[in-house]
């Protein structure tokens, strides 16, 4: 799996691009692991042997493209998980508020019904006693 810094470097090579710093360890690692390869050589050195040619620009290999897609999918999955967690958290807060309101209504209605029943019983006791 690519790191975010490797991804940012590798994504630049989706289109042929010159390596700004060929001594950068990230660039060298991407080159060694065959995530990028030489796209073209400097025409000024075209008359020399291929081994002495100077690379002009680099491009992502199929392996590098797979690594980019894997990293992008990972980021999308992580973003979806965060959205789902935020949604679940918001829904939990809404449910908690609804439950709190329901508990108050049940308490008030219960108290009112209890008071009415108590008054009715007191009146019945006065009538029959």
Tens of pLDDT, residues 101-115: 999 999 999 999 999
C-alpha distances in angstroms, 20 versus 23, 58, 122? Answer: 9, 11, 94
- Enumerate helices (H) and strands (E) in the chain, giving the number of each: 3, 2
Q: Which pLDDT value is given to residue 44?
A: 65
Crossing angle (nearest 10°) for helices 62-128 and 4-11 = 130
Average pLDDT, the chain: 88
- Distance CA(82)–CA(85), nearest Å, equals 5
In this prediction the pTM is: 0.66
The CATH-assigned architecture of domain 4-128 is: Orthogonal Bundle (1.10)
Q: Which pLDDT value is given to residue 65?
A: 94
**Other C-beta atoms lying within 10 Å of the C-beta of residue 67:** 20
């Amino acid at each position: 799996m690519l790191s975010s810094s490797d991804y940012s470097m590798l994504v630049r090579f989706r289109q042929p691009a010159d390596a700004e710093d060929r001594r950068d360890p990230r660039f060298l690692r991407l080159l060694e692991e065959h995530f990028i390869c030489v796209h073209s050589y400097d025409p000024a050195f075209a008359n020399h042997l291929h081994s002495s040619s100077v690379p002009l620009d680099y491009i992502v290999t199929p392996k590098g493209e797979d690594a980019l897609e894997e990293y992008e999918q990972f980021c999308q999955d992580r973003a979806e998980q965060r959205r789902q967690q935020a949604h679940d958290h918001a829904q939990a807060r809404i449910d908690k508020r609804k439950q709190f309101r329901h508990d108050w209504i049940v308490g008030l209605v219960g108290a009112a019904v209890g008071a009415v029943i108590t008054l009715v019983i007191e009146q019945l006791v006065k009538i029959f006693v």
